[in-house]
Chain A
Amino acid sequence: MKTWFNTVLAFVVLTSPSFAQGKLNVMTTTEDLASIAREVGGDRISVESIAKGYQDPHFVEAKPSFILKLQKADLLIVVGRELEIGWLPPLQQQSRNGKIQAGGAGYLDASLGAQIMEIPTGQVTRAMAAKSSVDDITLSFDAACALIVSVKAAARVEIIFMGIVL
């Protein structure tokens, strides 16, 4: 019985796409980050975004199918600034993947070090949402920000590659 179970388990692992291709698995929370990662990693990485480009990234559902993808991720790139706070933490926690936990070697917050525009300096309350919807408060990436993210992503990808090779 145990041998049979191990055989099935080995078959499942060996036939999984990422194992067969030997590529670095990069997950991003949004499509724009996925696009940057593709430019950096080329055909040496496989990239997938959790939120689709036509989806509101504030209201993504934390589907269990994402848990399976995050479990195999070598690198998770997030927009940050708590854009994903409503759905990403449960996915990270349930992924059982220590690399992509906040602070882990495979966790990259794109907002860290990026120039953030229009940071309010006064007191911010939810009452302001009546005047301008909270949905409109988004982080926009300009070319410089994308460059910073890509440089950081490239460095992180290289480090992870080296870790795997060594």
Chain B
Amino acid sequence: MVFRRRHAACALSVILAAASPARAQTAQASAEAQALRAAIDGLKRDFDQRLAALETRLAAVESAQQNPPAPAAAAPAEPAAAGTGASVTNAKVFNPDMAVIGDFLGALGRTTPANVGVTPEPLLQMHESEASFQAVVDPYARADFFLSFGEQGVDLEEGFLTFTELPGGLLTKVGKMRAAFGKVNALHNHVLPWTDRPLVINNLVGGEDGISDAGVSVARLIPNPWLFLEATGQVFRGDSGPDENPLYRTSHRGQASFVGHLRGYQDLSESTNIDLGASVSRGYNASGVAEGNDDFTTRLIGLDATLRWRPLQRSIYHSFIARSEVIWSRRDQPSGLQSGSGFYVSADYQFARRWFAGVRFDGSDRADNAALRDTGGSAILTFWPSEFSQVRGQYRRTNYAIGPAANEVLFQFQFAIGAHGAHPF
């Protein structure tokens, strides 16, 4: 019996001795599993917390989009914690860019005598208020409208549709637009470097209204390895210029006017570039209509050159622009063909961030009587309080063909509110 007990104890000891390593391994595996489970649980909790935070932010953004807060009257702007570019950009998707640009003009000094055929500028005038509406129409086109509010009425300065990706690399515009004749004709008042337009534009190219008409414009880049070259062809209804002294006037549908323009541009260096252009235009004038002759035409040829210098590293402080245009006019008149010409040369230097100084010399024959020639010169000083307003003073001396010289001081305040799209270079 004792022998049996001893054997039983020995057998139990052997079994326990043999089983102890396996038990240790099982315990270790169990500990690792628990650790992994704990890690997974921790990750789950962290993931759930982050997901909940993201869902809360998403709900807040969606709520803000559905119920946009009313703008506080005079609440100070406080930075918010977060936001994406997409959420802000989408806010104006259905509204065009809108802006109003005011142009206030004053004139002092000896007024232009009324008998020389030139309308003198008044002492003070709200010369123009330009309202602009610009937006993308669809993936194929964009629209631009510019309404000009004067003291006497409203005029559609420009309103056109631009197709940006037609076959053949054609850039096509339809609507009412300023013609691509030279440089100044295509510029709106608020981007002119002067308070007025040069004599050659007033005498030969329809003045402030210029060649601006309803029509179709097609422009194409001409590929070449040397320079930027663009050819533009435009067809207009044929009515341009002010009512009292029109450049082109039609008597019937077959009297459309045409404009052709070739532009070459080249960077001379990183800071300097040159822009050259040649323009032609032809249309019918109404000078012979009273005598029963409605096929009198006016033909224009123009050359323009612009030299720009703007050092990139100091581009907001210093720049220089020299520009010139020469225009020849051949106009049928009841008295015979009138062949006149005119020019302007201008230079503007930015000597500080907000200050510009410039000079201009110009001269021009008159379109309907080329024997009369006006000449003039101006000195201009411009101050920019900000990018959205400018104050300009201009001393202008003009030797009109008839009458004494006019010495005038013109001053101008321009100011912009809203988002006004950039104009072509």
Query: Which of A's residues lie within 8 Å of B, judged by CB?
Result: 9, 12-13, 15-16, 52, 54-56, 59, 61-65, 67-68, 71, 80-81, 85-90, 92-94, 96-98, 101-104, 109-124, 126, 128-129, 134
Contacts and interface: CB of A to CB of B under 8 A. Distances in A.
B384 interface: no
A126 B76 contact: no
A55 B310 CA distance: 11
Given A12-B223, A64-B425, A71-B221, A115 B77 contact: no
Contacts of B136: 102
B84 A62 contact: no
B422 A62 contact: yes
Contacts of B225: 12, 15-16
Nearest to B425: A62
Nearest to B76: A122
Nearest to A109: B85
B19 interface: no
Nearest to A65: B267
Nearest to B219: A94
Nearest to A62: B425
Contacts of B290: none
Given A13-B223, A56-B316, A93-B162, A123 B425 contact: no
A97 B83 CA distance: 31
7 smallest beta-carbon distances between A and B, as pairs? A111-B85, A98-B165, A120-B77, A122-B77, A118-B79, A64-B228, A64-B265
Most chain A CB atoms below 10 A, which of B72, B77, B273: B77
B169 interface: yes
A55 to B, nearest CB: 5
A16 B223 CA distance: 10
A139 B216 CA distance: 40
A68 B84 contact: no
Given A56-B315, A65-B273, A90-B425, 9 more contacts: A61-B315, A90-B424, A92-B164, A94-B171, A96-B164, A96-B171, A96-B221, A111-B86, A126-B386
10 contacts: A13-B223, A54-B313, A63-B273, A93-B142, A93-B162, A96-B171, A110-B85, A113-B85, A115-B82, A134-B387
Contacts of A104: 139
Interface in B119-150: 136, 139, 142
Contacts of A81: 85, 88-89
Nearest to A86: B422
Given A89-B421, A120-B77, A129-B386, A101 B85 contact: no
B224 interface: yes
Nearest to B315: A59
A112 B84 contact: yes
B79 A97 contact: no
A2 to B, nearest CB: 15
A52 B228 CA distance: 21
A55 B386 contact: no
B321 to A, nearest CB: 11
A129 B225 CA distance: 44
A2 B53 CA distance: 68
Contacts of B270: 52
Contacts of A124: 77
B83 A96 contact: no
B80 A119 contact: yes
B53 to A, nearest CB: 14
B191 interface: no
B85 A114 contact: yes
A35 B83 CA distance: 25
A141 to B, nearest CB: 12
B244 interface: no
B316 A121 contact: no
B336 interface: no
Interface string B342-377: 000000000000000000000000000000000000
B312 interface: yes
A89 B162 CA distance: 13
Given A101-B139, A114-B85, A54 B312 contact: yes
